Amino acid sequence: MVDNAFVALTHSSTLRRLLYEALAALGLDPTDTYRRAYAGVALAAPLLEAREEHDNAPRFWQALEGISGDTDIGLHLGEVMQPRPMDVVSYLLLAARDLRQGLQAFVRFQHILSGGFAARLQEQGDEAHLVIDLNYREVGSLRQQMECLAVLLSKMLASAAGGELPLMGVEFRHRAPRKLAEHRRLLSVEPRFSRPHDVLILPRALLSRPSRSASPRLFEVLSEEAEKQLAGLVENQLLARVRYWLEVNLGGTTCSLEACALALGSNRGALQRSLSEQGSSFRALHDEVRRLRALRLLDQGLGVREVARACGFAELSPFYRAFRRWQGGTPRGLVSRHGSTGGEALA
């Protein structure tokens, strides 16, 4: 078992430091808060195996409301955080020629901050949508974490934009809390909940406003450093990132090559070529993640229908065919426990 006081919620020292400082500013001892959040949890090899460092985060954010007694603790942490440039990504935001270039750099190098980011920038009409999804294995969006991040990022972007950031909207994946007064006060808009993504919506015209701190040469140097840091991250290796995306999305949405490429900031052809260069393919990785999940869930005693659905199969017959391929034949016990291997729909 690891020491709960030193559980890393992310490999980003910047985000950890801002969180520690904010906890202290709200009168919560950071070390004690961490110990209480992970009390009785054995973070041994089975839990951490093949997972990224940020996957330790859900337990902390889920426990934080109960520890603090504050139903809006995420918003209040974001409120007291004092964002300042402490890493290559935040310096890139400041050195960019405008907010568009800064956000493009944020999206490009997002995994320096957290391996769970699935951020992207979309420009639609008069709006710019900064998707800030953070994904964890088999865990949905975390309300307190995402509300904290929304407030923190809005302050960081305001600084990069020259001191103001008139948000047009904020969307969250989690369900709406009972009271929204603090959301309105700190975000200056009425958030929408139960949406497909966590999103900050900005005026598109703001993206092209020249930055007062722009430095093309510094931006070039910082970009080179960011590329080196990105290449050095174990969790950012292509095969690991694709496996992770599949693990997060399997059974919940269509896991296509196109959708994965979009989430990773690439395109279908480029991702296909990159996987081929690594001696793999999207189909092979998809099959691998499905196989491991199926075996794990069957070992846990789940019924075959539930397992097939959780692995992204719409019918039983394709699941059985895949299982025979994985195992060299359908185990007799699987058929006897669950009946026919015919083409029964799972809907």
With contact defined as beta carbons under 8 Å apart, do 134 and 52 qualify?
A: no
- DSSP annotation of 127 reads E
- pLDDT exceeds cutoff 90 at 262: no
pLDDT at 86: 79
The CATH number linked to 19 is 3.90.1520
Residue 234's pLDDT is: 62
Cα separations in angstroms, 87 against 77, 110, 327: 20, 12, 47
**Domain enclosing residue 306, as ranges:** 236-338
pLDDT on residue 55: 64
In a domain, 314, yes or no: yes
Token reading at 143: 């309300």
Residues 113, 162: one domain? yes
Number of domains in the chain: 2
How many residues can be counted in the chain? 347
Q: Are residues 246 and 116 in the same domain?
A: no
Tell me: pLDDT of 90 over 80: yes
Is residue 137 domain-shared with residue 254, that is, in the same domain?
Answer: no
16 and 131 belong to one structural domain: yes
CB 121 within 8 Å of CB 17: no
pLDDT given for residue 51 in this prediction: 46
- Give yes or no: residues 63 and 179 share one domain: yes
Answer whether residue 223 is part of any domain: no
Q: How far apart are CA 202 and CA 159, in angstroms?
A: 14
In a domain, 166, yes or no: yes
Is 80 exceeded by the pLDDT of residue 345?
no
**DSSP output for 111-142:** GGT-TTB--EEEEETTEEEEE--B-BTTB---
Identify the CATH number of the domain in which residue 304 sits. Answer: 1.10.10.60
pLDDT in tens, 18-39: 999 999 999 999 999 988 998 8
The C-alpha atoms of residue 286 and residue 304 are separated, in whole angstroms, by 19
Task: Specify the range with the lowest mean pLDDT, choosing from 124-133, 173-182, 201-210, 254-263.
Answer: 254-263
- In single-letter form, the type of residue at position 172 comes to F
* 103-118 residue pLDDT tens: 999 999 998 888 778 8
Check whether residue 174 and residue 278 sit in a common domain: no
Query: What tokens appear for 232 in the block?
Result: 């050095």
Same domain, yes or no, for 191 and 259? Answer: no
Query: Across the beta sheet with 169-171, what order do the strands follow?
Result: 120-124, 127-131, 199-203, 169-171
Q: Is the entire prediction scored with pTM above 0.75?
A: no
Same domain, 67 and 188: yes
Same domain, 179 and 248: no
